[in-house]
């Protein structure tokens, strides 16, 4: 077993275990914390795959932004120490069935399929400059249009969030 | 522009005029002016038509106007009239004219009421003059839909229920009609060439037999619903009972005729072979309707219900006559439509006026009205006598033509149904006289009724114009009958040509 | 050839009068309506007399000496099929001309009489308007050129009769009676209509001249056996006779006539004694050649029905107390006699004696029966009661009425030389040649007739003295003058040599008085009178004893043999309760229920389905994901082609 | 740096994470925890994208860019979602998803 494999196994173990804990924990703040671990471990996977920039984004936006936002909202809407109501069997059983069934089908499909993996050419680190170029490029493999769309989306989301969060005058 | 287009333009202009009115009085007078103009237009049309025919114009339809308005589906605004349509237009304009006066005392929302009423009438006129199946269907819907609002808003009793029931059942019929019409359109060129909605063109073709057998029941039932064919008639009693006076008049007097006319003009005319093959089923239903409606009316206590069932009986006779497939009976069918249209409009007008005074429609609560409102009572007796087929009124002419025509079919089946249908005239006499006896004659049962007043001037205009209508047709039917016969030529020839294909 | 087209005015004038009086009558004093109506009818009467004179005496005859049968006026009214069309016109032949005389004369008398009788009644001008309408309809009926025109006017007389019977519309019994009269005759008319339809279908024409002419299509067509062993033609004639029987109140359709007496008495005299009720007889006479040659079975039915009705009604008449009802039953009986006369008749010459006699009797009967009714009206007018128990000893108070009533009674009883004697004698003579049984039946009828008429006469004018609220006094001149004129007719009408004018083949022949029949008939009549005198001249208890002695039979007769009850049972119980009510129920609950059920099912289904939209986000998600997975399973693994 | 790790491993990891997220989405009541489940789902998708990118098309950057965009969208979505949640909380003083059925039928 190579170090790589070991690292992957560790990361994926963290991800899976804390994912499960995220969706089952009955203390909501803890759940958010577990989610944080999951996201950090995912960032580790990105490092492993040599997407350093992506990993950085994952850490800054997800971990630094989204999770903090979630935790804030938790603090706004719940009392610390409150235990969440346990879901009833009527919810759990179908959910487990569906999830297991879906996982099985997907896994069978995925494992049966022979992906034409390219030969991996060592450690090619993606250059930030290259990323930036293609992000604003209008050529082939350029992403300026999605980039603009996302910008507008974010702007809209910002406006929307402000409007929604604003207190009503009445 | 053909004179026929005026029949659509005048109501629309009237509606525009109504929208500009300030007071209720203005609304009424604009409506009267518009519909009076329409009435004059109808009379002019009849005279022009007769003049043309006398001058030897033997075209199948006159006053044709044809504009393409949707090229992709080859839909035209194609209007034209033959003797039958002219007669129906005359009926409609008379009933609408009387209906305006009969709704003089409508409660509120005058502007809206008259707008819908006139919109409805323009739909009816459009239906009768259309020669394009699609445009015809368009106008048909235009005539049916305002009914919902008219009953739902201005009605009485369980008006929402009735309006809903009526509209849903008629819409059900419309759905069948639409299927049937599309079916006809798709098969309208069996020998190649562009598909068409044009009735005249389609009537020159023979549609494939298996399609005909499929389409004929669709169309006949679809139009039959509006023509109050047994067992699809139950919207009629409830709907009429809840509808305001003018709406009942228009509905029973004109709108139900759309059903009969559609059966005649579309179902039988375009699909004659299928009509010959499966017509007997509907003939049985129509015969049941005739006798069943009459017996149904015998037991009712509400004036409007009595009249609604009587309409079922009389309209059953229309379908009955159409299904006899010969010129005389069909002539009778058309005359019965006109006669019943005027007569039943008269009935509903009178019932509305009586109800407006006594505030009840139950015959047992009234009595001896002859003494307090002689004008209305005499008019009611006249309407009753016309309804039971007294010579001198239109009903007699129509019924006798139907029976003589029906008797020309010599086989035992047709004989039996004819005799059964003819026996309805006795039952009709019974229920009419029962009502007249209880309602108008005898002693006044309620002292409050001593104070009631007789008809006002607008009531009188409405009633007298309708009575004149039935009397003129009843005394001198020849011109009308000949005019209709002229229009029936093509259909009778088609039916004769189709007859040898009978099994 | 004389121009008879002016006869159209005989039709047009009354309808014109009807419209004028009906629309404008209320604007003027009531008496104006009466005068306008009467004078109008006077003109019509004159026209009819002129027509009759010109027809019988001036107009040239056909080559064989028979009276002509022709259309004085005819116009197309409605086209039906290629062959069939309804015309409106005036047909002149001996019977229609004779009927013109009868109708206009009686109608004129009744008009005149009504001015006095109806004086001060509410609706005076309405009454005269309706009388004009009736005159129009009846005249149109008799001059009809085709059977459909006859049907048209047949219906119109029915409705005029309805309106006149129900003249006192606030009286419930009058309303009920008018309704009954209309519906019963309407039912009969349905038969008439079916008969017409069959006849016209077979022969292809409505026209009387064609139908009854020597080359009539009725002779050849429709002779095949059709139903129950009878030919189409026979059936159609039976149906037509059904119409006639209804209008003429033959058994079993007679029930409306006694009730119709609820109408004003002049109406009873005009419509229900002299004119409308004989329309059935006239109808059979009009189609007589068809009956004789093409449908003898139907003619037999006419004979049997006529004979039975005459004896049946005569028996009932003996037991009734309402004088107008007695007269009504007497009318039924006499019309039965006329029908019998037609039924036994043959065609042509002496064979057609019954036909001639029947028409003769119709003619004379019109006079004396109208006279009886008008007399009864005068009596009722005087004592304000219809019941003979309330009357008695009136011969001093009402001298003119008494005299004229007596003449009428003698005439109907068949005492020579009054009108009834001659005509009845001819019918009996014709009957004796055909069927001895029925001859004797009719003999008994004439005895009974004499009996009940004089029962009436004696109980009204003689018998016990009554105490009246106010002394009865003679009616005014407008009422007594018509009585006297009609009495004159009843006296003299029999002396007309009728066989010179009206015969089955329109050829005059000479009829002799058959002493072998006349003498027994007169004797029977006199016996009846004597018995009646014995019973009723002085107040005795003999009638009661006889009545009791006959037991249940007389009870049944008194209750009109329970025919009314039977009808009531059929109409009220069966038609109303067992047909109409279930139909109404069926409609509301089954047919409409099906429609409502459809709506209910739709509604219910949508209600159920809408519960699926629970608003539970996770439930939606569950369904969505399961669905997506199932689709994957389906398309990736299970449905791999 | 990732030699010896087969693509399948990533895919298995993504699958498991995805369905864990689904399970959470279906069972949790609190709106915020549902939001967190959604983040899990998005994350698993991201892993897949990245893995495919690296293993199948190492010369391009599609997968990475998709991931970047997904992260951006997720951020937007989270901010809006939290705004809504807070709004709901203000109105109902509860963010139980089971009670959020006012818009049914």
Residue in chain C closest to B331 (alpha carbons) equals C80
Strand partners, C89: C74
What is the arithmetic mean of pLDDT over C150-166?
88
Q: Is the pLDDT of residue A121 over 60?
A: no
3-state secondary structure C278-294: HHHHHHHHHCHHHHHHH
Q: Lowest-pLDDT range, A81-90, A99-108, B84-93, C311-320?
A: A81-90
Q: Do C615 and D104 count as a contact with CB atoms less than 8 A apart?
A: yes
- Return the pLDDT at B324: 86
Choose, out of C617, C622, C624, C631, the residue to mutate when testing the contact with A (most A CBs < 10 Å).
C622
- Alpha-carbon distance of B451 to B454, in angstroms, equals 10
- The Cα of D35 is separated from the nearest Cα of chain C by a number of Å equal to 13
pLDDT tens track for B98-117? 888 888 877 777 888 888 88
Q: Do C610 and D27 count as a contact with CB atoms less than 8 A apart?
A: no
Asked if D48 reaches chain A (Cβ–Cβ under 8 Å), the answer is: no
- Return the pLDDT at D15: 92
pLDDT tens track for B363-417? 888 877 787 888 888 888 888 888 888 888 888 888 888 888 888 887 888 888 8
Q: Lowest-pLDDT range, A146-150, C403-407, C501-505?
A: C501-505
Strand partners, C78: C86
In angstroms, how far is CA C529 from the centroid of its own chain? 29
Q: Is the pLDDT of residue A79 over 80?
A: no
Q: Do A98 and C632 count as a contact with CB atoms less than 8 A apart?
A: no
* Residue B448, domain extent: 3-501
Chain B residue numbers with beta carbons less than 8 Å from the beta carbon of C179 are: 433-434, 437
- The Cα of D26 is separated from the nearest Cα of chain C by a number of Å equal to 5
- Return the pLDDT at B501: 45
Asked if B496 reaches chain C (Cβ–Cβ under 8 Å), the answer is: no
- Return the pLDDT at B500: 56
Choose, out of D6, D11, D12, D20, the residue to mutate when testing the contact with A (most A CBs < 10 Å).
D20
- Return the pLDDT at B143: 86
CB C164 within 8 A of CB C130: yes
The domain segmentation of chain A, as residue ranges, is 3-82+125-165, 87-113
Report chain D's C-alpha Rg in angstroms.
17
Q: Which residue has the higher pLDDT, B201 or C472?
A: B201
Q: Is the pLDDT of residue B265 over 50?
A: yes
Backbone angles phi, psi at C540, to 5 degrees: -130, 175
Strands B75-81 vs C70-79: parallel, antiparallel or unpaired:
unpaired
Spatial neighbors of C359 by CB under 8 A, at least 6 apart, are: C95, C98, C285, C498, C502
Chain A residue numbers with beta carbons less than 8 Å from the beta carbon of D83 are: 160-162, 164-165
Q: Is the pLDDT of residue B196 over 70?
A: yes
Mean per-residue pLDDT over chain C, rounded = 83
- Write the residue in C156, C179, C584 that is nearest to B392 by C-beta: C156
pLDDT tens track for C79-132? 888 788 888 888 888 888 888 888 888 888 888 888 888 887 788 888 888 888
Asked if B434 reaches chain C (Cβ–Cβ under 8 Å), the answer is: yes
- Write the residue in A38, A74, A110 that is nearest to D15 by C-beta: A110
Q: What's the number of CA atoms in the CB half-sphere (13 Å) around residue C442?
A: 33
What is the arithmetic mean of pLDDT over B214-236?
86
Chain D residue numbers with beta carbons less than 8 Å from the beta carbon of C614 are: 101, 104
- Return the pLDDT at A18: 92
Q: Is the pLDDT of residue D96 over 90?
A: no
- Return the pLDDT at A41: 92
Q: Do D104 and C618 count as a contact with CB atoms less than 8 A apart?
A: no
- Return the pLDDT at C211: 81
CA distances from B287 to B294, B406, B413, B416, D83 (A): 11, 12, 12, 10, 71
pLDDT tens track for B418-430? 888 888 888 888 8
Choose, out of A60, A99, A142, the residue to mutate when testing the contact with D (most D CBs < 10 Å).
A99
Work out how many domains chain B is built from and give that number: 1
- Return the pLDDT at A100: 92
Q: Is the pLDDT of residue D41 over 90?
A: yes
- Write the residue in C614, C618, C625 that is nearest to D104 by C-beta: C614
pTM of the predicted protein model: 0.82
Q: Do C166 and B408 count as a contact with CB atoms less than 8 A apart?
A: no
What is the arithmetic mean of pLDDT over B442-454?
76
Q: Is the pLDDT of residue B54 over 90?
A: no
Confidence of residue A123 (pLDDT cuts 50, 70, 90): low
Asked if B1 reaches chain C (Cβ–Cβ under 8 Å), the answer is: no
CB C427 within 8 A of CB C334: no
Q: What's the number of CA atoms in the CB half-sphere (13 Å) around residue A110?
A: 19
Q: Is the pLDDT of residue C1 over 70?
A: no
Asked if C15 reaches chain B (Cβ–Cβ under 8 Å), the answer is: no
Q: Do A94 and C622 count as a contact with CB atoms less than 8 A apart?
A: yes
User: Chains B/D: 3 or more C-beta pairs closer than 8 A?
Assistant: no
Q: In this prediction, what percent of chain B has a pLDDT beyond 90?
A: 1
Q: Looking at this predicted complex, what is its ipTM?
A: 0.75
pLDDT tens track for C10-63? 888 888 888 888 888 778 888 888 888 888 889 999 988 888 888 888 888 777
What is the arithmetic mean of pLDDT over C197-206?
84
What is the arithmetic mean of pLDDT over C366-380?
86
pLDDT tens track for B320-376? 888 888 888 888 889 899 999 999 899 888 888 888 888 888 888 887 778 788 888
Confidence of residue C641 (pLDDT cuts 50, 70, 90): low
Angle B390-B392-B396 from CA coordinates, rounded to 5°: 45
- Return the pLDDT at C222: 65
pLDDT tens track for B105-160? 777 778 888 888 888 888 999 998 888 889 889 998 888 888 888 888 888 878 88
Inter-axis angle of helices B374-387 and B457-475, nearest 10: 30
- Alpha-carbon distance of C398 to C405, in angstroms, equals 10
- The Cα of D46 is separated from the nearest Cα of chain A by a number of Å equal to 9
Confidence of residue C177 (pLDDT cuts 50, 70, 90): confident
pLDDT tens track for D59-74? 778 888 889 889 989 8
DSSP output for C413-471? HT-TTSHHHHHHHHHHHHHHHH-HHHHHHHHHHHHHHHHHHHHHHHHHHSSS----SS-
Structure tokens at A30: 């803890």
CB C21 within 8 A of CB C125: yes
Q: Do D105 and C613 count as a contact with CB atoms less than 8 A apart?
A: yes
Q: Which residue has the higher pLDDT, C580 or C363?
A: C363
Q: Is the pLDDT of residue D44 over 90?
A: yes
What is the arithmetic mean of pLDDT over A3-29?
89
- Return the pLDDT at B502: 43
- Return the pLDDT at D14: 92
Residue from B387, B398, B377 nearest B345 by CA: B387
User: Chains C/A: 3 or more C-beta pairs closer than 8 A?
Assistant: yes
Q: Is the pLDDT of residue C381 over 90?
A: no
Q: Do D68 and A85 count as a contact with CB atoms less than 8 A apart?
A: no
- The Cα of D24 is separated from the nearest Cα of chain C by a number of Å equal to 10
- Alpha-carbon distance of A93 to C384, in angstroms, equals 100
pLDDT tens track for C57-79? 888 877 777 788 888 888 888 88
Asked if C623 reaches chain A (Cβ–Cβ under 8 Å), the answer is: no
Q: Do D36 and A22 count as a contact with CB atoms less than 8 A apart?
A: yes
Q: Is the pLDDT of residue A40 over 80?
A: yes
- The Cα of D63 is separated from the nearest Cα of chain A by a number of Å equal to 11
Asked if D46 reaches chain A (Cβ–Cβ under 8 Å), the answer is: yes
What is the arithmetic mean of pLDDT over C628-641?
83
Asked if C618 reaches chain A (Cβ–Cβ under 8 Å), the answer is: yes
Q: Is the pLDDT of residue C372 over 90?
A: no
Chain C residue numbers with beta carbons less than 8 Å from the beta carbon of B168 are: 599
- Return the pLDDT at C483: 85
- The Cα of C590 is separated from the nearest Cα of chain B by a number of Å equal to 10
pLDDT tens track for B27-49? 888 888 888 998 998 999 889 88
- The Cα of A89 is separated from the nearest Cα of chain C by a number of Å equal to 14
- Return the pLDDT at C590: 82
- Write the residue in B234, B327, B433 that is nearest to C595 by C-beta: B234
Could you give the 3-state DSSP secondary structure of residue D6? coil
User: Chains B/C: 3 or more C-beta pairs closer than 8 A?
Assistant: yes
- Given a contact as 3+ CB pairs under 8 Å, which chains touch C? A, B, D
Q: In this prediction, what percent of chain B has a pLDDT beyond 70?
A: 99
- Return the pLDDT at B503: 37
The residue count of chain D comes to 105
């Amino acid at each position: 077993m190579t170090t790589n494999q070991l690292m992957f196994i560790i990361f994926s173990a963290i991800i899976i275990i804390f994912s499960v804990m995220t969706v089952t924990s009955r203390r909501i703040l803890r759940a958010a914390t577990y989610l944080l671990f999951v996201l950090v471990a995912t960032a580790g996977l990105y490092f492993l795959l040599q997407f350093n920039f992506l990993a950085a984004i994952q850490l800054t936006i997800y971990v630094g932004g989204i999770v903090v936002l979630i935790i804030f909202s938790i603090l706004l809407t719940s009392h610390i120490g409150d235990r969440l109501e346990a879901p009833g069997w009527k919810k759990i059983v179908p959910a487990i069935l569906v999830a297991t069934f879906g996982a099985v089908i997907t896994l069978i499909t995925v494992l049966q399929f022979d992906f034409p993996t390219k030969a991996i050419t060592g450690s090619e680190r993606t250059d930030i400059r290259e990323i930036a170029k293609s992000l604003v490029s209008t050529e082939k493999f350029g992403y300026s249009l999605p980039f603009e769309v996302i910008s507008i989306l974010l702007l809209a989301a910002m406006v929307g969030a402000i409007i929604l969060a604003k207190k009503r005058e009445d | 522009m053909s004179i026929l287009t005026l029949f659509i333009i005048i109501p629309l202009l009237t509606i525009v005029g109504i929208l500009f009115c300030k007071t209720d009085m203005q609304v009424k007078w604009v409506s009267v002016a518009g519909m009076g103009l329409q009435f004059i237009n109808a009379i002019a049309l009849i005279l022009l038509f007769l003049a043309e025919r006398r001058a030897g114009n033997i075209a199948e339809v006159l006053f044709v106007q044809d504009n393409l308005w949707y090229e992709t589906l080859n839909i035209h605004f194609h209007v034209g009239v033959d003797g039958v349509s002219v007669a129906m237009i005359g009926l409609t304009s008379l009933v609408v004219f009387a209906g305006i006066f009969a709704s003089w005392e409508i409660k509120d929302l005058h502007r809206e009421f008259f707008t819908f009423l006139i919109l409805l009438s323009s739909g009816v006129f459009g239906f009768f003059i259309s020669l394009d199946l699609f445009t015809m269907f368009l106008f048909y819907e235009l005539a049916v839909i305002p009914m919902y609002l008219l009953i739902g808003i201005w009605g009485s009793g369980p008006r929402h229920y009735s309006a809903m029931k009526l509209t849903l059942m008629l819409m059900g019929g419309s759905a069948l009609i639409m299927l049937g019409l599309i079916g006809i359109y798709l098969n309208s060129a069996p020998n190649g060439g562009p598909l068409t909605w044009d009735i005249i063109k389609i009537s020159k073709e023979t549609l494939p037999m298996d399609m005909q057998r499929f389409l004929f029941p669709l169309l006949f039932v679809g139009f039959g619903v509006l023509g109050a064919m047994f067992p699809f008639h139950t919207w009629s009693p409830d709907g009429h009972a809840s509808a305001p006076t003018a709406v009942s008049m228009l509905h029973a007097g004109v709108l139900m005729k759309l059903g009969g006319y559609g059966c005649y003009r579309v179902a039988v005319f375009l699909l004659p072979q299928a009509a010959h093959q499966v017509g007997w089923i509907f003939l049985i239903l129509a015969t049941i309707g005739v006798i069943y409606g009459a017996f149904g009316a015998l037991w009712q206590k509400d004036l409007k219900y009595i009249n609604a069932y009587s309409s079922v009986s009389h309209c059953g006779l229309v379908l009955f006559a159409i299904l006899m497939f010969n010129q005389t009976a069909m002539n009778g069918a058309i005359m019965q439509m006109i006669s019943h249209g005027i007569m039943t409009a008269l009935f509903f007008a009178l019932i509305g006026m009586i109800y407006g005074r006594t505030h009840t429609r139950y015959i047992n609560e009234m009595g001896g009205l002859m003494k307090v409102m002689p004008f209305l009572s005499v008019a009611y007796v006249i309407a009753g006598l016309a309804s039971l087929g007294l010579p001198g009124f239109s009903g007699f002419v129509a019924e006798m033509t139907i029976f003589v025509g029906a008797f020309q079919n010599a086989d035992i089946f047709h004989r039996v149904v004819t005799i059964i249908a003819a026996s309805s005239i006795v039952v009709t006499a019974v229920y009419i006289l029962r009502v007249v006896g209880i309602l108008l004659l005898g002693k006044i049962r309620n002292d409050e009724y001593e104070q009631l007043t007789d008809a006002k001037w607008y009531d009188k205009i409405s009633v007298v114009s309708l009575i004149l209508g039935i009397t003129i047709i009843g005394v001198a039917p020849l011109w009308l009958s000949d005019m209709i016969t002229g229009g029936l030529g093509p259909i009778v020839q088609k039916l004769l040509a189709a007859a040898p294909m009978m099994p | 050839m004389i121009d008879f087209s002016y006869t159209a005015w005989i039709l047009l004038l009354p309808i014109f009068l009807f419209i004028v009086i009906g629309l404008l009558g209320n604007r003027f004093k009531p008496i104006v309506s009466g005068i306008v109506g009467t004078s109008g009818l006077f003109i019509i009467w004159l026209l009819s007399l002129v027509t009759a004179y010109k027809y019988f005496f001036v107009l040239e005859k056909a080559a064989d000496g028979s009276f002509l049968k022709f259309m004085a006026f005819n116009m197309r009214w409605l086209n039906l099929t290629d062959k069939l069309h309804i015309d409106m016109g005036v047909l002149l032949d001996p019977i229609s001309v004779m009927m013109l005389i009868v109708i206009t004369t009686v109608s004129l008398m009744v008009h005149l009489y009504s001015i006095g009788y109806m004086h001060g009644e509410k609706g005076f001008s309405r009454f005269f308007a309706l009388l004009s309408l009736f005159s129009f309809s009846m005249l149109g009926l008799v001059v009809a050129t085709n059977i459909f025109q006859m049907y048209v006017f047949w219906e119109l007389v029915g409705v005029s009769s309805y309106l006149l019977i129900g003249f006192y519309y606030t009286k419930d019994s009058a309303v009920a009676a008018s309704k009954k009269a209309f519906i019963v005759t309407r039912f009969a008319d349905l038969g008439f209509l079916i008969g017409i339809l069959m006849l016209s279908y077979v022969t292809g024409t409505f026209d009387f001249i064609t139908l009854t002419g020597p080359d009539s299509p009725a002779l050849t067509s429709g002779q095949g056996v059709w139903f129950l062993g009878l030919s189409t033609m026979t059936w159609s004639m039976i149906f037509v006779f059904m119409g006639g029987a209804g209008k003429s109140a033959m058994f079993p359709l007679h029930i409306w006539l006694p009730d119709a007496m609820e109408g004003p008495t002049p109406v009873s005299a005009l419509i229900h004694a002299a004119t409308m009720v004989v329309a059935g007889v006239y109808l059979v006479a009009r189609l007589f050649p068809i009956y004789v040659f093409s449908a003898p079975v139907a003619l037999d039915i006419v004979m049997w029905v006529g004979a039975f009705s005459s004896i049946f009604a005569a028996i009932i008449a003996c037991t009734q107390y309402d004088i107008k009802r007695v007269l009504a039953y007497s009318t039924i009986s006499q019309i039965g006699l006329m029908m019998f006369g037609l039924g036994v008749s043959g065609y042509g010459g002496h064979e057609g004696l019954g036909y001639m006699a029947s028409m003769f009797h119709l003619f004379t009967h019109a006079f004396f029966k109208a006279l009886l009714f008008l007399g009864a009206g005068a009596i009722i007018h005087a004592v304000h009661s219809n019941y003979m128990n309330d009357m008695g000893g009136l011969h001093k108070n009402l001298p003119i009425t008494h005299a004229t009533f007596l003449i009428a009674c003698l005439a109907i009883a068949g005492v020579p030389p009054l009108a009834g004697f001659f005509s009845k004698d001819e019918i009996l003579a014709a009957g004796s040649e055909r069927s001895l049984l029925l001859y004797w039946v009719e003999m008994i009828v004439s005895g009974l007739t004499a009996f009940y008429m004089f029962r009436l006469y004696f109980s009204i004018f003689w018998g016990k003295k009554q105490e009246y609220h106010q002394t009865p006094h003679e009616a005014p001149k407008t009422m007594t003058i018509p009585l006297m004129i009609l009495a004159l007719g009843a006296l003299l009408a029999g002396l007309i040599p009728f066989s010179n004018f009206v015969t089955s083949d329109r050829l005059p022949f000479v009829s002799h008085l058959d002493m072998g029949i006349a003498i027994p008939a007169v004797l029977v009549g006199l016996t009846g009178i004597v018995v009646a005198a014995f019973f009723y001249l002085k107040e005795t208890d003999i009638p009661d004893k006889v009545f009791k002695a006959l037991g249940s039979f007389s009870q049944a007769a008194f209750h009109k043999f329970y025919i009314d009850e039977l009808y009531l049972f059929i109409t009220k119980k069966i038609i109303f309760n067992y047909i109409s009510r279930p139909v109404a129920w069926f409609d509301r609950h089954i047919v409409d229920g099906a429609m409502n059920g459809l709506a209910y099912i739709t509604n219910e289904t949508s209600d159920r389905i809408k519960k699926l939209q629970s608003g539970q986000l996770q439930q939606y998600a569950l369904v969505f994901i399961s669905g997506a997975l199932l689709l994957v399973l389906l398309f990736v693994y299970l449905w791999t082609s | 740096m990732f030699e010896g790790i087969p693509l399948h491993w990533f895919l298995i990891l993504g699958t498991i994470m995805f369905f864990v997220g689904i399970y959470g989405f279906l069972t949790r009541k609190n709106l915020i925890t549902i939001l967190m489940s959604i983040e899990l789902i998005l994350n698993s998708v991201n892993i897949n994208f990245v893995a495919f990118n690296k293993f199948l098309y190492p010369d391009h950057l599609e997968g990475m860019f998709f991931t970047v965009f997904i992260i951006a969208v997720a951020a937007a979505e989270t901010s809006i979602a939290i705004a809504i949640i807070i709004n709901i909380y203000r109105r109902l003083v509860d963010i139980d998803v089971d009670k959020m059925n006012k818009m049914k039928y």
